[in-house]
Amino acid sequence: MRTDFERVSLTAEGAVAILALNHPDSLNAIGPRMAHGFSGALAEVENPAHGFRALLLTGEGRGFCSGANLSEPPESGGPLTAGAILDELYHPLLRRLRDLKLPIVTAVNGVAAGVGMSFALMGDITVAARSAYFVQAFARIGLVPDGGSTWLLPRLIGLARARELSLLAEKLPAEKALEWGLINRVYEDNELTDEALKMASRLADGPTAALALTRRLYWDSPGSGFEQQLGRERAAQDRATATEDFREGIRAFRDKRPPQFKGR
């Protein structure tokens, strides 16, 4: 299966949906046209009829996403404030990735700059090519960080490093990003796609109903007190123990065999 959307492609490898940003001429800068294609592709990923159980997000060509496409005018045709563009284009996509009921692997194959860096960090597991790099490019053009980066970065790498990246707008190579704990793994450039697909396939074979509950718990945890989070875990665990996957996991444990999870 391969479906082409506007500046985005969607392919299937088993139960893994591979969503690739596909405008290499701009290093996959995201503007209204790509945002529209991204939204359409996510609708297909979310469609239960396709049976997807994990999402792999990556970019075509030499870049993952070089940030906002500043040369592409808003679809409305009229002038919009920067804040309105965020509300119209980027925030809905970031929220959909946050709320997706599938685990997400992001494979950063090149530059991830500005809001492109935010999309890269939406993965539950983020892997990168050795030549890839990240950059909070906003200060270079007199803007402030957006795309949720002022929420994401302090929680991933701490406040001091987050401020450093945002104020100095220096490139962060993949290996340094790994050292800082920003990403999970680094692979040789020619190995990235295969290794990322292996990771996504492993997640797709897992108890994806429980994995969806797990990713929701982690998204909610920064705003929760300890007692509140204990309550969230209790409610999620009740839902997890009601799944077929839990019953299969128990049977497999007793039978000393690998479980065959169905995602329900």
Q: Hey, what are 218's tokens?
A: 């982690």
Residue 77 has pLDDT above 70, yes or no: no
Name residue, tokens 């040789």.
188
Q: Are 122 and 145 in contact (CB under 8 A)?
A: no
261 part of a folded domain: no
**Tally of domains in the chain:** 2
At 71 the pLDDT is: 82
At 159 the pLDDT is: 97
Q: What is the CATH number of the domain that holds 226?
A: 1.10.12
Cβ neighbours of residue 216 closer than 8 Å, sequence gap 6 or more? 236
Q: How confident is the model at residue 120 (pLDDT cuts 50, 70, 90)?
A: very high
Residue 203 has pLDDT above 70, yes or no: yes
17 part of a folded domain: yes
Q: How confident is the model at residue 129 (pLDDT cuts 50, 70, 90)?
A: very high
> Stretch 30-49: mean pLDDT, rounded?
96
- Regarding whether 17 and 89 lie in a shared domain, the answer is yes
Interval 142-187: pLDDT, tens? 999 999 999 999 999 999 999 999 999 999 999 999 999 999 999 9
At 72 the pLDDT is: 78
Quote the CA–CA distance of 117 and 133 in Å, as a whole number. 9
262 part of a folded domain: no
> Stretch 238-264: mean pLDDT, rounded?
95
Q: Are 46 and 100 in contact (CB under 8 A)?
A: yes
- Regarding whether 133 and 86 lie in a shared domain, the answer is yes
DSSP character string of 81-137: -HHHHIIIIIHHHHHHHHH-SS-EEEEE-SEEETHHHHHHTTSSEEEEETT-EEE-G
- Regarding whether 126 and 138 lie in a shared domain, the answer is yes
- Domain carrying residue 227: 208-255
Question: Beta strand pairing status for 125-129 and 104-108?
Answer: parallel
The whole-chain average pLDDT of the chain stands at: 95
Q: Hey, what are 215's tokens?
A: 């990713």
Q: Which residue has the higher pLDDT, 242 or 77?
A: 242
At 75 the pLDDT is: 66
Quote the CA–CA distance of 255 and 37 in Å, as a whole number. 46
215 part of a folded domain: yes
- Regarding whether 50 and 165 lie in a shared domain, the answer is yes
Residue 79 has pLDDT above 70, yes or no: no
